[in-house]
Each structure stands twice: as C-alpha cells, then as structure tokens.
Structure 1
Amino acid sequence: MTEESTVSTRVLTVPNVISLARLLLVPVFAVLVANGADAWALLVLAVSGASDWLDGVLARRMQQVTRLGQMLDPAADRLFILVTLLGLAWRGTVPVWLVVVLVARDVVLAVMLLVLARAGYPPLRVHLAGKAGTFVLLYAFPLLFLSQWPSTVGQAAGVLGWACALWGVALYWFAGVLYLAQAWTVLRRERRERLRDRATAS
C-alpha cells in the first residue's frame, strides 16, 4: 500500500481534534500577548509545540493520516508563527525584517499553491526540511519571549532563541525553494504532456 493510498477523507480523528485545538489556541495566545500575560502566553506556546509533535506521531501510529489533517496542521503552524512574530515585533523583541522574511516565504508559496490548484493539482506533500524549519521556529519563539526577562536566564534564552530563529529561517526558506522546484517540475511535465497530446491529435 502506498503512502498516498493511506491518506483518508475522515474528519473526526484524534490528530484532527488536536490540530483544531491548536488553531483555537491562536486567538487565545494573541490576547495573552496583547495583555502582557507572558507566563500564560509561554504556556500556550509550549502546549502548541508539544501538540504539533503529538498529532503527527498519533496520525502515523494510529493510521489516521487524513486530507483534513494535512491542511489543519500546517495552517495552525503558520498562524502561530505569524501571531508570535507580530507579537514579538510589536514589543520590539525581534526586528521587522524577520517578520517580512518569514511572511514573504508564505506569500510566495500561497501563490504557488493557487497556480497548482488552477492546473488541477493538490497541495504538495510537506517536506522534511519545511517541517524541521517550522519545528525550530516554534521552539525559538518561547526562548525569545524569555529573553525579555532581565536576568541571566533571559540572556541565555536570547542567545539560544536567536540561534534557533536564524536556523529556522534558513530551513524555512530552503524548504520553500524545494517546493517551488517541485511545483515547477510538475507544471513543466504537464505542459509537455499537453503539447504531446496536441501533436498526437493533429
């Protein structure tokens, strides 16, 4: 049985419920950040990061990989990354360029997905580099929040947080380039097949 055939159309599964819960935590996290409730915001980030790992493990072990889950999981990741970035930039903890670099990558890939959809292709499979980049970023952000604390712990968290953030950005964009190359290959193959069909018909 191929991996593609194991992807089901089920909706109510344990991993999907976890992914949905992560999505619902995004506005909770935003409110906590806006109100300066850093301890609770850090707790929500930690829960989100742990659940991101958990839903993937459960989906594979329980054979509950679904098309809905393949959309919910990255959507929750990207929303958490965006909201956390905006919160950190609003506080002046991270520079605006970091927000621009990460958001630009997602905008580019969103356009790519629209082009693929118009050509009749589903979203591309998640690449390991993209998952790793998202994972590193989601764990860099709590450290960057901790870096705001005026203590030795805050200083150490800032160094480690920035190391993880820069590594995550590199992986994030590396995966983006891989997705673009994969999409280009798919679209070019379709164009060749269309031209061959026209030549055969004539």
Structure 2
Amino acid sequence: MSSTQQLGGGQGTNWNVPNILSTLRLVGVPVFLWALLTHQDVLALLVLMGSGISDYLDGKIARHYGLVTKLGQYLDPIADRLYIATTLFGLAWRDIIPWWLVVALMARDAFILAMYPTVRAYRVPVPPVHYIGKAATFNLLFAFPLLLLGQFSGWLGAVALPVGWAFVWWGTTLYWLGAFLYAWQVSVMVAQRRRQWQAVGA
C-alpha cells in the first residue's frame, strides 16, 4: 500500500487526513470561543495552538502526498476565517486587542466578499489561496496565542506580548496585501473572459 493510500486516498478522496484535520479545527472553534469568553485561558491557548499546528500539517500533508481536494480547498480557508474572526472578537471583548484591529481585518474579508458577484457573473474560477495569504494567516494564528499568553503574569507573558504584536502587524499587512493580489487576479481573469466573449460575438 502506498503512502498516499495510507493517508486516506488520492486526489479524489474527500475524507483524507488533511480534510479530517480541517474538520477538527472547525469543531474546535466553539470550544475555543467558550474557553476564551469564560477566562479559561489555558484551554483557549491549547485549542488555539492546536489549530495553528493542524493548519500547518494539513497543508503540508495535502501537498506532499497529493491529497488536495475541492472539499479541502473550501474547508481550510473557512476554518482559518472562523478562527481569526472568533479570536478577534473574543480578544477584543476581553480588551486584549483594540476594536479598530477587528474592523481592519474584517474589512479585508468584506473586500474579498464584495468581489464574489463579479466572479459569479463572469463565471471565472475562484483564485487559489496565494502563499502571501497563507503567510498572513500563519502570522495571525501565531500572534493570537502569543497575545493570550501575554496576559499571564511573569517573564513569559512579558516576552510573549510584544512578540505577539509584531506578528499582528506583519499578519495584518500581509492580509491586506493578499487581498489586493486576489483583486488583481480576479481583474485579470475578468478581462480575459471579456475578450473571449467579445471574440465569440464578433
């Protein structure tokens, strides 16, 4: 039996190891939010760290063993967005981060969502997740546990807090850079589609 088969099948198999990891991350979202809002910070930190590790592993396994599926291409970004959204609102509710940061990051997702009608109208494929977007998500998912850890007393919290904020700034910058790249990809595909339709109509 090949390594790919052992990990859950080939490209056409939906329920393979990467997709199961993404599903487990989705299941962990309400657990994390409950723990954060009830000040169960150790549990919240463990769930959030587990999410970051599984996010890295599912992508690594999917690419290495050829286990990329349509389901996985939807599950992975959905899990990322949910963790980022719940973490932002939870940390802002706890006054760990300012609300303007929540607005800045949520506005980015609204910017992406606003392009969906154009993508649908011109029947162009959704651009694949770019490495800049993945780097942004990694920075943010790495930053949030550090910000939470920064609430603990002692030298560990004192070190974690500024490092966490450094990752927040990098992640936010890359997050918006990825959004602009996404918009550029969509505009290129829409322009190509228009030329195709014009050629057919000529």
TM-score, scaled to structure 2: 0.91
Distance 1:15 1:52 in 2: 9
Q: Can you list the C-alpha shifts for 1:64-101, whole angstroms capped at 9, x where unaligned?
A: 11010011001101100000010110011111111011
Deviations 1:95-139 (A, max 9, x none): 111101111111111221342123222211110100000001000
Match of residue 153, structure 2, among 145, 150, 154: 150
Would the aligned equivalents of 1:117 and 1:123 in 2 still touch at CA under 8 Å? no
Is the Cα–Cα contact under 8 Å of residues 37 and 94 in structure 2 kept in the other structure?
A: no
Q: Give the distance between the partners of 2:89 and 2:74, measured in 1 at CA.
A: 23
2:109 to 106, 111, 125: 106
Partners of 2:110 and 2:132 lie apart in 1 by 18
How far apart are 1:57 and its partner, in Å?
Answer: 1.2
Q: State the percentage of identical aligned residues.
A: 46
- Structure 1's unaligned 5+ residue stretches are 1-6
Q: Give the letter aligned to residue 99 of structure 2.
A: V
Tell me the C-alpha RMSD between the 2 structures. 1.3
Alignment of 1:176 with 2:184, yes or no, is no
Contact persistence 2:147–2:165 (CA under 8 A): yes
> How many equivalent pairs are there?
193
Q: What residue identity is the alignment partner of 1:174?
A: L
Please say if residues 144 and 162 of structure 1, whose CA atoms lie closer than 8 Å, have aligned partners that are also in contact: yes
Letter in 2 for 1:141: F
- Correspondence 1:129-140 to 2 at 5 A: 129-140=132-143
User: 2:40 corresponds to which residue?
Assistant: 37
Aligned residue among 64, 70, 76 for 1:61: 64
Deviates most, 143-152 or 130-139: 143-152
Q: Which amino acid aligns with 1:99?
A: V
Number of the residue aligned with 1:123: 126
Unaligned runs of 5+ in 2: 1-9
Residues 1:193 and 2:196 are matched in the alignment: yes
Aligned residue for 1:16? 19
